A and B are shown apart, each in its own frame.
Chain A
């Protein structure tokens, strides 16, 4: 005879197990990014971006009859935590993971999925890196189950060097970067690429500064001045970039600032606060709010209507990712991610930002045009401003994807 107590426990257990299975009509996307701690602001913008994109897809009927839902998983920028959260997400039915912040978490996720997807052929999960910049993730640490939708830092440096080829007023270059993997990567890549494309440009300074440790950038600004540089290329971001630009504004340093991360949260405000002249701070990025592309500006408008006027669509990579995922799902009439990734590799597409793009099959790195823009005063009806400062991006140049082609050492293990 079945004991009543056992019966109650069994039923309770069944209910508990049942509640973790996803509802039949929802396809869940798991976002693994820092949602607490110092990087939380960036992680939150990522979550809002993906929720916005999912909302757009749902508004047009969902995907193959299923609604999209985006769930956030906090990895605290930690690689071990990333793997734990990935497992948690997969256990609750997520089959598409998206992530962007930090190099170590990205590499950790690639490692995790390589092993997990091989051992669990029925639970294979796809991973979109929507803004990660570490080259390692599409080289020695690459994965068949990852698609990187943003240009990695080697590509961005190559693109910037290509752009600087046409800038006659750049004669003396100062490199200013953080003393960590990305910063050192920029340092080496800039030297190599500039030697090739503009051997006449003199590199008059090369600084590596510990990340987020320096409060007073006045001595560094002094060094830049003393070197006689007319152009500074910097991979500084967040607080470092803000303090550097403020110190430069105070000291009256007049150079052109080419940055990779001036689109980040707080950076446009810092540019404005620094008192630097308009259109002397540049960025090179996959997009900006005032692109010629009408489709992109429409999306930017919709995004700001939902998320807030002060927040720019910081992750153009995610827009293309969602577009291509949706297209593949509808064309193949399936949400089986293994089939989707097989169809996406090698695929060509038209990024909303304009131009041509493709997903390279060798390493699953997406190539697309990159845009150089400078920040300065913008009239309300002439374009978007950044963070309610009254200053916005103005396009200066475009680098075609062919000019961002970097080789790869990726030897990805493909499923049989």
Chain B
């Protein structure tokens, strides 16, 4: 029992922090600019592919530095020459633009690197065991991901709350005209924020690429869960995104360990027989539906607390 709980907590934390790393950029863009970037997972994919290519030519550590910068640059350019023009037409137009962008990026990646998964390996230096607990080894690379995610959270919080740039960005969100009149280049600020958000997605890609499968459909794998994190965490809250990521990671990991059927759980709550048409659902175990549980969480939250856990502007 202790073993199960320990492992579930550890695995849940590791997975949750990886989700946070992915979601941090999206939170930034969404809360700072109100743009729901559907192509965020695509920038994550670009980061993974750039990381793979650069790691192949030069090495992993240069890739860790160069790839996010490259993705950030592409993001900034897309904002400057694409999103900015579309912004005038409203939120739906922005959404459609990023939606189309996601498709384009996926096709480009397929054209350049092909459709087959690429062999993006964990760098030799990090391909060791960090520690062993109850006979299960935990790889150093996962701990590395955890450390990077914590560092990113710390730096972002610092940037947003303590620096002058963060102050200007926050002000530009609610009072763009005033900030503009005070002499700050508001469009440029938004371009930089979008670029930073994309760079964070790229960083997540460089790091997560070796752990997961680097293939053109990888954006679709993480896309949906990112939005769950944003919704559950609350719009505009970085701390909320962190809590939501950890919550989802832990809930999903614990759910896998539960081999108890839904019928048993319902029986414990007092519903002894399945309602009409739901009898197929009764013998299904919680473990079987574990990947769906985060979405269930999102639906419940939207019903009872639509602003999310810590929903407020940053």
A residues apposed to B, CB below 8 Å: 38, 40-41, 44, 179, 207-210, 212-216, 218-220, 222-223, 225-226, 239, 242-243, 246, 250-252, 265-266, 269-270, 272-273, 275, 389
Contact across chains for B11 and A219 when beta carbons are under 8 A apart: yes
Residues of A within 8 A of B222 (CB): 215
A386 to B280, CA, bound (A): 42
Q: Do residues B142 and A270 form an inter-chain contact, with CB atoms below 8 A?
A: no
In the complex, the answer to whether A209 meets B116 with C-beta atoms within 8 Å is: no
Enumerate 5 A-B pairs (CB-CB under 8 Å) in ascending A order: A214-B291, A220-B256, A226-B4, A246-B211, A266-B215
Would you call B14 an interface residue if the criterion is a C-beta within 8 Å of the partner chain's C-beta atoms?
Answer: yes
A213: B residues at CB distance < 8 A: 291-292
Judge whether A225 and B136 touch: CB under 8 Å: yes
- A210 CA to B286 CA, complexed, in Å: 12
- Min CB distance B291 to A, Å, is 4
Q: Would B117 and A223 count as touching, CB distance under 8 A?
A: no
In the complex, the answer to whether B129 meets A252 with C-beta atoms within 8 Å is yes
- Pairwise interchain contact B215-A250, C-beta atoms closer than 8 A: no
B-chain residues with CB within 8 Å of residue A215 when the two chains form the complex: 15, 212, 221-222, 225
CB closest chain-A residue, reference B129: A252
Q: Contacts A239-B221, A242-B213; is A226 near B3 (CB within 8 Å)?
A: yes
- Select one of A40, A219, A266 contacting B213, CB under 8 A: A266
Bound form: Cα–Cα A275–B256 in Å: 24
Contacts of B116 on A, CB cut-off 8 Å? 41, 265-266
Taking the nearest CB of chain B, how far is it from the CB of A312, in angstroms? Answer: 12
Instruction: Supply 11 further A-B pairs (C-beta < 8 A) apart from A214-B290, A250-B142.
Output: A179-B288, A214-B291, A215-B212, A222-B136, A223-B257, A239-B215, A251-B138, A266-B213, A266-B215, A269-B117, A273-B210
Q: How far is the CA of A212 from the CA of B292 in the complex (A)?
A: 12
0/1 per residue, B1-26, Cβ < 8 Å to A? 00110011001001100000000000
- Provide the bound-state CA to CA distance between A130 and B119, in Å: 29
Scoring A215, A251, A275 by chain B CB atoms within 10 A of each residue's CB, the highest score goes to: A215
Q: Nearest Cβ in chain A — how far from B93, in angstroms?
A: 27
Instruction: Say how far B139's CB is from chain A's closest CB, in angstroms.
Output: 5
For the complex of A and B, the 5 pairs showing the least CB-CB separation, nearest first, are: A219-B256, A252-B137, A213-B291, A266-B117, A216-B15
Chain A residues within 8 Å of B115, by CB? 40-41, 44
Interface of A: prevailing SS: helix
Interface residues on B, range: 35 or more
Q: What is the 8 Å Cβ interface bit string for chain B, positions 36-49, against chain A (1 contact, 0 not)?
A: 00000000000000
Q: Which residues of B contact A270 (CB under 8 A)?
A: 117, 213
Tell me whether B136 and A251 are in contact (CB under 8 A): yes
What residues of B have a CB within 8 angstroms of the CB of A243 in the complex? 212-213
Q: Which residues of B contact A41 (CB under 8 A)?
A: 115-116
B257-300 vs A, CB cutoff 8 Å, 1 = contact: the mask equals: 10000000000000000000000000000011111100000000
Chain B interface helix/strand/loop/mixed: helix
Q: Which residues of A lie under 8 Å from residue B217 when comparing CB positions? A: 38, 239
Residues of B within 8 A of A40 (CB): 115
The residues of B that contact A207 with a CB separation of less than 8 Å are 287
Interface assignment of B253: CB less than 8 Å from any CB of chain A = yes
Of the candidates B117, B212, B257, the one having the most CB atoms from chain A within 10 angstroms of its own CB is: B117
Compute how far the CA of A216 lies from the CA of B212 in the bound complex, rounded to whole angstroms.
Answer: 9
Bound-state CA distance A220–B290 (Å) is 11
- Contact across chains for B119 and A273 when beta carbons are under 8 A apart: yes
Whether A222 and B117, one on each chain, are in contact in the complex, defined by CB atoms closer than 8 angstroms, is: no
- Inter-chain contact B7/A273, CB cutoff 8 Å: no
If the complex has contacts A239-B221, A250-B137, A250-B139, are A208 and B288 also in contact, measured as CB distance less than 8 A? yes
Complex Cα spacing A84 to B266, Å: 45
Q: Does B252 contact A (CB under 8 A)?
A: yes
Q: Which residues of A contact B14 (CB under 8 A)?
A: 218
Interface string of B188-218 (1 = CB under 8 A from A): 0000000000000000000000111101010
Which of B129, B249, B288 lies in contact with A209, CB distance below 8 A? B288
Chain B residues with CB under 8 Å of A265's CB are 116-117
Interface assignment of B80: CB less than 8 Å from any CB of chain A: no
Expressed in whole angstroms, the minimum distance between the Cβ of B170 and any Cβ of chain A is 33
Smallest CB–CB gap between A223 and chain B, Å?
7
The 8 Å CB contact of A269, one of B7, B119, B138, is: B119
Q: In whole angstroms, how far apart are the Cα atoms of A215 and B4 in the complex?
A: 20
Say yes or no: A242 contacts B253, CB within 8 Å: no
Which residues on B sit within 8 Å (CB–CB) of A219? 7-8, 11, 252-253, 256-257, 290
Task: Give the Cβ gap from B259 to chain A, nearest Cβ, in Å.
Answer: 8
With a cutoff of 8 Å between Cβ atoms, the chain A residues found around residue B213 in the complex are 239, 242-243, 266, 270
> In residues 107-149 of chain B, which contact A (Cβ within 8 Å)?
115-117, 119, 121, 127, 129, 132, 135-139, 142
Instruction: Say how far B280's CB is from chain A's closest CB, in angstroms.
Output: 12
CB-nearest residue of chain B relative to A275?
A: B127
Residues of chain A with a CB closer than 8 A to B121's CB: 273
